[in-house]
Structure 1
Amino acid sequence: MLALIAGQGALPRAVAEASTERPLICALEPHAPEGLTVDRSFRVERLGGFLHWLRRKGVRRICMCGRVQRPELRLSRLDWRTALMLPAMRRALKRGDDGALRIVISLLEEQGFEIVGAHEAAPSLLPPEGVPTRAQPDEAARAAALLGDRVSAEQGARDFGQACVIRDTELLAREDDATGTDAMIDALTGAEGGVLYKAEKPGQDTRVDLPVIGPRTARGAIRAGLAGIVVSAGGVMVLDRGEVLSLLDEAGLFLWVRERP
């Protein structure tokens, strides 16, 4: 049985609806996922008891998706099962996002669970390689994609965000992990003709925090006057793909699902 630990944003609902099996919906308090009925919520101080409950329900696989704010750990609220995990949990709360996720994955695996990526639970969210829009990338877009590869490698090494905006060979904006891709696009000025580049961080564990774009991303790119969007094949999920393509086609933007060299 699969448990979906759902954070904020549109991704958890999309994964639940596209999943090949009906998942058990769980959420970390005090946040509730959008458009989903939660079967079980839990506090971080009760993580051990929550995992024990999952095992009793027959859950063997866990998918974590959606935005989650780093919780505050209150020692006075720990149950005894969670207290046994306290050293690892403290290390996770002190790390950057990537380091914290690696510790969380290791912690769940030590408890006997298999961690499943959102794209594995709902493979239809990964678009095939190619250009599904009527507009096609030109030479300037190809040059921007190559620079995007280098920026992505740098951002991954520094535990930054997964997206940037490039025009020709000029880097116009970087994603801030605290705000996200859509906020970066909304803040753009003077980016007409630029390209949104988004990819998983090199070396990233793709079972968690795989990048996502959706209709809001497309609308933001259109408002900013961008020429198109480049995403890595197998590394970025597209929510409501039909709506995204319709929006981009109407505005004359391209979507390039590109295999990184």
Structure 2
Amino acid sequence: MKRIGLIAGNGNFPLLFGKEAKKRGYFLVGIAFHGETSPYLKRIADKIFWLKPGELTKCFSLLGQEKIKQVVMAGQIHHDRLFKEKLPDEELKSLLKTLPDKRTDSLLRAISEKLKEARIELLPSHIFLSHLLAEEGILTRRKPTEDDWKDIKFGRKIAAEITGLDIGQTVCVKNGVVLAIEAIEGTDKTIRRASRFTRGIIVVKKAKPNQDLRFDLPVIGIRTIKTMVKTKAKVLALDPEKTLLLDREKVIALSNQKGISIVVGDEK
């Protein structure tokens, strides 16, 4: 039986990948992290190992022990844990010292190079899940107004700048004003921060200009839509073919119920 590894962060993304890998006949070895990975993964994986975030040496040792030659990274590990917790791993400490900065791409690219040195191939994170990539068009009943489109265009311009600098993926705008830019806190907290200023915000989530499909692919699920409902946000704009749309039916149903527009791509 073919073997594949899963380095699993939080959310449903790792679970969906795991289910699809099993459907295709893979023996799935999960590397899970306390305080991040859903316990449900143990029902999907053939083998699962629980680590503390940052235990890089142990992660690589387990992948070697299990004879894993291909691995996927799916789901986020909260980046702020680098600041909140003592790092348990000397190899990770050494790796961090070699980096010019600790932005997401810098860290994940360094880890991918370590995997390569160990002769482990890091596969695109959406492998087996390409059917979940958001297709171009308006996915909801509510269509953006003319003013909404102006803000979407403005938000995309700002988002292109921040993604190019690997600061974040999400920008919240209204009436040509930037209300919040995502940094380390993640999309949902960025939306909540923006909503302190006004209702009816436009949320733009964008992939990096040269997005590495092996990691940090933009992901949207039902949790973000629930956040938009609570904060009275009205439009979510996404990139086509570079954003994973999880819980699709629930996302569209709730958006339709609450009058939220989901737009993928540019105005026609």
TM-score computed with the length of structure 2 as normaliser: 0.81
After superposition, the Cα gap between the structure-2 partners of 1:46 and 1:211, relative to the gap in structure 1 and judged at 3 Å, is closer
Alignment of 1:9-88 (within 5 A): 9-19=11-21, 21=24, 22=26, 23-28=28-33, 30-34=34-38, 35-37=40-42, 39-42=48-51, 47-48=56-57, 50-68=59-77, 69-70=81-82, 72-74=86-88, 87-88=94-95
Q: Distance in 2 between matches of 1:108 and 1:173?
A: 35
Q: 1:161-206, CA deviations, whole angstroms, 9 ceiling, x for partnerless residues?
A: 11011123221211222x2111122231243332111011222322
- Farther off after superposition, 238-247 or 211-220: 211-220
- The AA in structure 2 aligned to 1:182 is D
- Are 1:198 and 2:205 an aligned pair? yes
Q: Distance in 2 between matches of 1:247 and 1:93?
A: 42
Compared CA separation, residues 44 and 240, structure 1 to 2 (3 A): closer
Q: Of residues 165, 168, 173 in structure 2, which corresponds to 1:166?
A: 173
Between 93-102 and 130-139, the greater mean CA deviation after superposition: 93-102
Paired letter, 1:27 = A
| Structure 1 moving runs of 4+ over 6 Å | none
Q: Which amino acid aligns with 1:25?
A: G
Which has the larger displacement, 234-243 or 187-196?
187-196
Aligned residues: 251
Instruction: Point out where structure 1 has 5 or more consecutive residues left out of the alignment.
Output: none
Instruction: Output the CA distance in 2 between the equivalents of 1:24 and 1:124.
Output: 23
The residue that corresponds to 1:186 in the other structure is 192
Map Cα deviations across residues 204-241 of structure 1 (whole Å, 9 max, x no partner): 32211111111121122122222221111122211111
Check whether the contact 1:3–1:25 (CA below 8 A) recurs between aligned residues. yes
1:143 positional shift: 1.6
The offset of 1:137, in angstroms, is 2.1
Q: Distance in 1 between matches of 2:252 and 2:190?
A: 21
- Aligned residue identity for 1:180: G
Aligned CA-pair RMSD:
2.7
Q: CA–CA distance in 2 between the matches of 1:174 and 1:212?
A: 17
State whether residues 7 and 65 of structure 1, in contact with CA within 8 Å, keep that contact through their aligned partners in structure 2: yes
Q: 1:18 to 1:229 in 2, by over 3 A?
A: farther
Counterpart position of 1:8: 10
Distance 1:147 1:194 in 2: 13
What letter matches 1:13 in structure 2? L
Going from structure 1 to structure 2, the CA distance change for 1:224 and 1:65 (only over 3 Å counts) comes to: same
Q: Write out aligned runs for 1:84-103 (5 A).
A: 87-88=94-95, 90-92=97-99, 95-103=102-110
Aligned pair partner of 1:208 in 203, 215, 234: 215
Match of 2:229 in 1: 222
Checking the alignment, whether the CA contact within 8 Å between 2:225 and 2:251 is kept in structure 1 is yes
1:138 Cα shift? 2.5
- Map of 1:114 onto structure 2: 121
Contact 1:92–1:104 (CA under 8 A) maintained in structure 2 = no
Residues 98 and 204 in structure 1, CA contact (< 8 A), matched pair in contact too: no
Q: Which residue pairs with 2:138 in the alignment?
A: 131
Q: Tell me, in whole angstroms, the C-alpha distance in 1 between the residues paired with 2:197 and 2:93.
A: 48
Q: Which runs of 5+ in 2 are unaligned?
A: none
Q: Are the counterparts in 2 of residues 91 and 100 from structure 1 also a CA contact under 8 Å?
A: no
> Which sits farther off after the overlay, 233-242 or 219-228?
219-228
% same residue: 25
Amino acid at match of 1:125: L
